[in-house]
Amino acid sequence: MGLNFNSAGIVKGFFGGNAYLAIVFLLFICLFLFKSGIGFIPAYKNELSNARKAGLEVSNMIDYELKGYYAISAKLNQAFTSEKRERFGEKEILKYVYEEFEGLLDDELEDNIDGYLDIDEDTTEKAEAKTTLLAEIDSACRGLGEKFLLSKVTPRIPSTTSISDDTIDSAIEYAQQYALNDYETPEEIDQILTDIADQMGALGVINKDLKKSSAGLEKLHKTVETSARKTYDILKNNYKLRNSIQKLKEGLVKQSGKLDNLTDSEKIATQETLISEIQTKIDEAKSKIVEVDTEEAIIPIYAALEGHPAIIEKLRAVVPKNIEKLKDIDFISPEAKEYAAAIEELLPQYLEILDEQETSISNWTHETKVSYFAAIKAFFFGLDWKTGSNRQSLYGLIPLLSGSLLISLVAMCFAVPLAIGTAIYVNQFASKREAGILKPAIEFIQAIPSVVLGLFGILVVGGLLKDWSASPLLSWLPGFPINDRLNVLLAGILLAFMASPTIFTLAEDALNNVPKAFKEASLAMGATRLQTSLKVILPAALSGIIAAIMLGFGRVIGETMVVLLVAGNKAKIPNFSEGIAVLGQPVHTMTGIIAQEYGEASPGSTIYQSLFMVGLVLFTISLIINTICQRILARQQR
Amino acid sequence: MKLKSITTALAVSAAIAATALGQSKIIFKGSDTLGNKLVPQLKAEYIKTNKDLDIEITPQGSGHAFSNLLSGSADIGMSSRAVKQDEKDQFDAAGKSLVEHVAAWDMIAVIVNEENPVKKLTLEQLGDIFTGKIKNWSEVGGADAPISSYTRNSSSGTYKSFSKLGMAGEDYGSDCQKLEGNQQICTEVSKNVNGIGYVGLAYSKGDNFKTVKINNNSPKISKLATYPLARRLYYYTVGEPTGQVKAFLEFATTAEKADEITEAVGFIPSKAGEQSAAK
C-alpha cells in the first residue's frame, strides 16, 4: 500500500529535525564560546590594573630600556669574542682541547678513575694504580687524533689549521689533574679566558666600560621590580584565594544540598564531616588573604624613579661615546668588524627607545584607572603572548594572529596556482580517462589525516627542506640556508597540500557550471582551446573560483594538527625586517596555542578564558570567510 | 532462524567480552615523562602475573593528570611536578582528597647537538639562554651561531620544573620554540647544530645529540645530590588507593623488579633517590 500520511510525516519530521539540529548545535557552540570567553576582559582588566597599582607596569618600561641596551652589549660581546679568538686563539685552543679530554674521561674512563679514587690508603698499590691510570688517560686522549680535535676547534676559531703537540701535552696534563683531583676542573683552565680578556687592549676597555654603564639602570630596575613584585604577588595571591573561596563555597552549597536526600544516619555523619572540612578550608583561605595598601607600597617606587632621568642622561652620553671609539679599532677578524658595524646601526634605534621610554616613564602614574577598552586593546593589539608566567602573564593576540596569517598566505601562494591550474587542466584539456584518474587521486589527498601529514612534515619534508636550503645551488636565495627546521615555509607547504583538494574540487565545479554554449560559441569563432579556456571559461567561472580560494583559506587558517607539529611554536611576532627570510622563522598560531595550552588551563582561569577569546577570533574569521563566499556564489547563480 | 541464532551468539560473546574487559582496569593519564617509557614497561612486567588486568596509559602532559582525576576518567594521574594550589582547590571543593606517591627521581638533562663543541654550561648561562638574554653560542664558548632553544609546552610538568630549577623562576623568553614532547625535542636537537633543549633523563641518550654538564656536573645517578636539575616524579590518586590500584602502586614503588625497570629506563627509584638526595 505504500507509506500512509503518518509515516511520511514522521520521516519528514526526522529529516527536518536533523536539519534544525545543525542550527541548534551551531547556536550552542556560539553560546558556549561566548560564555567561556566573555569573562576574559574583566579578568584581564583586573590583572592589568593590579600591575599598574603595584608599579609592575613601570618596571616593564625600564626593562624595555634595558633590553635595548642588552641588544647592543650582546653584539659588542660577539665582536669581542670573535676578535679575541682571532688574536689569542692559540691559547684558547688549550681550553677547548682540554674540554674534549675531560668529556672523554667522563664517558670512557669513569670506572678506571673511580677504581683509583676508591683506594683509600697511600700504599704502593695506589702508586701503581696511579701510574696505570695516568698512562691510560694519556693513551686515550692521544687516541682522539688531531683531526677530531680540530673539528671541535674550527667552529669556534675558523683560522686554526693545526694543533701543536705542546698544546696537546699540556691539555693531557690538566686532564690527568682532573682525574686525580676527584673530577675537579683545574683552575688554570677556567683562568685562560679571563687572562686573554685582560690582554685585549682598547676593545677590552670599551667592552668593560659599556658593561659598567648599565649598572645604574639595572640597579634601579631591581629596586622597582622587587618592590612592585612584592605588591603584585600579594594582589595576585589574594585574587587566587578569592577564587578558591568562591569554588569552595560552590562546593559547600552542592554538598549541603546532598544532605537533604540522605536518610542513613551514618551517611549523614560522613557528609557532615565533609561539609565541615570544606568550611575549615574556606576559613583557612580567608585567613591567608593579606590586605595591602597599594598607595603606601608605591612610595619607594616613585622615590627610585626620581633618579631615572639622571641615569638615562648618563647612558645617553656614555654609550655613543664608547661606540664612537669602536671606529678607531683595527679589527683583525672580519666577523668582529661586521658586528661593530651592526652596533653603529643599532645605536640610533636605541637612543630613540630611550627617548620614548623616558617620556612614558615620567608621565606614568599608578592612579590612572585601567578601562575595559584598554584591556580589549591589550588583547587585540598586544605584542606579547606570555602565559603561565611567574611574574605577569600577557595575552596579546598579534604574535599568534601574524603567525596564522603568514602561514596561510604562504600556503595559498602554493595552493592557488597548483589547484586552479589542475582544475583548468582536468576540466578543459584532460581526456575522460585522464580526468577519471586525476580527480579521485586529488580528492583522495583530502582523506589523509592531518596528523599523518604533520608527522610526514617533521620526519621527511622538514629535513629535506633544511638540507636543500644548505646546498650551494640554492643557498644564494634570500633566507637560505634555513636555521630552524620547523618554520613558516614548511607549515605553508604542508597546508598548501591540504588546501589544494578543497580549492580544486570547488574550482572544478565552478568551471563545470559554465554553460556549454560559451565554449561552443568561442570555438566557433575560431578561438583555440587555450584561448577559450583562459579568456572565456575562466572569467565566466571567476566568482566560483574566488569562493573556492576563500574556502581553501578558511581550511588553512583553522588547521591545527599540522601547524602544531611543524610551525615551531615560537610565540613571537615574526621579524618582517628580514624580508623574505621571514619564511625561515618558527611562529606560533591561534589554533596551535589553543591545542597546546588548554591542558594546563583550569576552567575559569584567565588563561582558559583567553584561549576561548582566541577561539572566538578564529570563529569570527571563519564566519566572515564563509559569508563572503556565500555572497559571491549567490551572485554567480543570479 | 539461522540469522537469529548467529545474532544471539554474537550478542552473548560481546557481553562476555565486555564484562571481561570491565572486570579490572587501571587508567593512567598525565605526564609524558612517566607515561611514555616507565609506566608502559612496569605494565608489561606487572601483567605477567596479573593476566586479567587491563592497564590503559594516555600520556599528554602533567596538567591532564589532575583534570582527569577530578572528572573520574583516570585512576592514577602521572605528574612530573607537584600539584598546584588551584588544582588542589578543585579537589577540595569537590570533597575529594588528592594523595601523592613519589614514583621516581628524575634529572632534567640539557642536550645539544653532537657537533656542537660546547660541553659545559653554568646554571646562570643556562638560565640566560632560555630567558633569551644569551642569543649566540659564542657567548658561552661555542661557535658564532644563533641559538635555537627548544622547550616543552606549558601543559608539561617539566616545563615548570625547568623554569624553577634551571632559570631561577624567571619566565621563558619569547624566542623559545615549544614542542610537543621529550622525543620531539630530541629529534629537533639532533637535527639542528645550533639547537639546545631539555629532556627527562630517560631520553638523554640517543644519536646525534649529547648532554651538557651543568655547573661541572653531568646528569648521572651518582651526582643526584649536586646536579642542580633533579626533581621528583609523582603518581596521584583520589583518596588512598585500594584494590588493584593499590597493588599496582605498591609494585611500582617498592618491588625490586620495578626498581630494576625504573633504573633501566633511566630514572632513579624513589627510595634510592630520597637517600642520595638527603646526603
Contact A597 B163 (CB under 8 A): no
Instruction: Give contacts of A149 with chain B, Cβ < 8 Å.
Output: none
Contact B90 A74 (CB under 8 A): no
Contact A74 B139 (CB under 8 A): yes
Q: What is the pLDDT of residues A74-120, one digit of tens each?
A: 888 888 888 888 888 778 888 888 888 888 888 888 888 888 888 77
Inter-chain Cβ pairs, chain A and chain B, closer than 8 A:
145
Contact A78 B139 (CB under 8 A): yes
- Is the CB of A596 inside 8 Å of chain B's CB atoms? yes
Q: Which residue has the cell 628580514?
A: A578
- Is the CB of A626 inside 8 Å of chain B's CB atoms? no
pLDDT of B93 above 90 = no
What pLDDT is stored for residue A635 in this prediction? 78
Domains and CATH numbers, chain B: 25-105+231-278 (3.40.190.10), 106-223 (3.40.190.10)
Q: What is the pLDDT of residues B37-52, one digit of tens each?
A: 889 999 998 888 888 8
Mean pLDDT of A524-534: 89
CATH superfamily of A407-589: MetI-like (1.10.3720.10)
User: Above pLDDT 70, what percent of chain B?
Assistant: 91
pLDDT of B248 above 70 = yes
- Give contacts of A 5-64 with B, CB under 8 A: none
Non-local (6+) Cβ contacts of A232 within 8 A are: A50, A51, A54, A55, A56, A391, A392
What pLDDT is stored for residue A390 in this prediction? 81
Q: Are B141 and B121 in contact (CB under 8 A)?
A: no
Q: What is the pLDDT of residues B136-193, one digit of tens each?
A: 998 888 888 899 999 998 878 888 889 989 998 888 998 999 998 888 899 999 988 9
Residue B18's pLDDT band (cuts 50, 70, 90): very low
What pLDDT is stored for residue A258 in this prediction? 82
Q: What is the ipTM of this complex?
A: 0.84
Q: How far is A195 from chain B (nearest CA, A)?
A: 15
pLDDT of A122 above 50 = yes
What pLDDT is stored for residue B279 in this prediction? 60
What pLDDT is stored for residue B20 in this prediction? 44
| Exposed/middle/buried for residue A54 (C-beta within 10 Å: 0-12, 13-18, 19+) | buried
Number of residues that make up chain B: 279
Task: List, in sequence order, the alpha helices (H) in A262-307.
Answer: 265-288, 294-297, 299-305
User: Above pLDDT 90, what percent of chain A?
Assistant: 30
Contact A602 B67 (CB under 8 A): yes
What pLDDT is stored for residue B15 in this prediction? 46
Q: What is the pLDDT of residues A325-337, one digit of tens each?
A: 888 888 888 888 8
Instruction: Give the separation between CA B166 and CA B160, rounded to whole angstroms.
Output: 10
What pLDDT is stored for residue B4 in this prediction? 56
Q: How far is A252 from chain B (nearest CA, A)?
A: 7
- Is the CB of A145 inside 8 Å of chain B's CB atoms? no
**Nearest-CA residue of chain B relative to A184?**
B216
Mean pLDDT of A3-19: 81
Mean pLDDT of A258-282: 84
Instruction: Give the separation between CA A338 and CA A75, rounded to whole angstroms.
Output: 10
- For an interface test with A, the pick among B64, B66, B191, B220 (most A C-beta atoms closer than 10 Å) comes out as B191
pLDDT of B21 above 50 = no
What pLDDT is stored for residue B5 in this prediction? 57
Q: Which of B63, B133, B154 sits opposite A387 (nearest CB)?
A: B154
Q: Which of A96, A240, A586 sits opposite B117 (nearest CB)?
A: A96
Non-local (6+) Cβ contacts of A98 within 8 A are: A171, A174, A175, A189
Instruction: Give the separation between CA B185 and CA A130, rounded to whole angstroms.
Output: 41
Contact A278 B184 (CB under 8 A): no
Mean pLDDT of B114-129: 91
- Is the CB of A571 inside 8 Å of chain B's CB atoms? yes
Mean pLDDT of A40-65: 91
Q: What is the pLDDT of residues A169-191, one digit of tens each?
A: 888 888 888 888 888 888 888 78
What pLDDT is stored for residue B10 in this prediction? 52
User: Above pLDDT 70, what percent of chain A?
Assistant: 99
Instruction: Give contacts of A588 with chain B, Cβ < 8 Å.
Output: 178
Q: What is the pLDDT of residues A380-416, one digit of tens each?
A: 999 999 888 888 899 999 999 999 999 999 999 999 9
Task: Sketch the domain layout of chain A as residue ranges.
Answer: 5-38, 56-227+302-371, 407-589
| Residue among A620, A62, A611, A57 nearest A385 (CA) | A611
Mean of the per-residue pLDDT values of chain B: 85
- For an interface test with B, the pick among A267, A600, A609, A611 (most B C-beta atoms closer than 10 Å) comes out as A600
Instruction: Give contacts of B194 with chain A, Cβ < 8 Å.
Output: 483
Instruction: Give the separation between CA A194 and CA A204, rounded to whole angstroms.
Output: 11
Q: How far is B44 from chain A (nearest CA, A)?
A: 27
